[in-house]
Amino acid sequence: QMKKQCNQKLLIRMKTKCVPCSLNLDTRCPTGYTKITNGPGTPDCRYNLEIKTYTLSFPGCRHRCVKEFEQPECCQGHWGPDCMGM
């Protein structure tokens, strides 16, 4: 019995919004994603603060999130919606 279905595992990565590091401890990833950074996250971004006519830019933090996704794929030599072709 040869395997017909050889699904590909994909890792989808994303980052949360940049906010002040002190406010980033409780930031959650979107549903289905897993947070891979700890504490306040990664201090690799800037966020803007608008005060009347001025916009100030401050260093901030964000979290990295990943989601594993399985993409259906047929093994070599098989094709079609049910991977039956030989």
Domain ranges of the chain: 11-74
Q: Write down the pTM of the prediction.
A: 0.72
pLDDT computed for residue 3 by the predictor: 80
Three-class SS of residue 23? helix
CA 35 to CA 67: how far, in whole Å?
A: 9
Residue 72 DSSP code? P
pLDDT computed for residue 80 by the predictor: 87
Tens of pLDDT, residue by residue, the chain (86 residues): 568 889 999 999 999 999 999 999 999 999 999 999 999 999 999 999 999 999 999 999 999 999 999 998 999 888 888 888 76
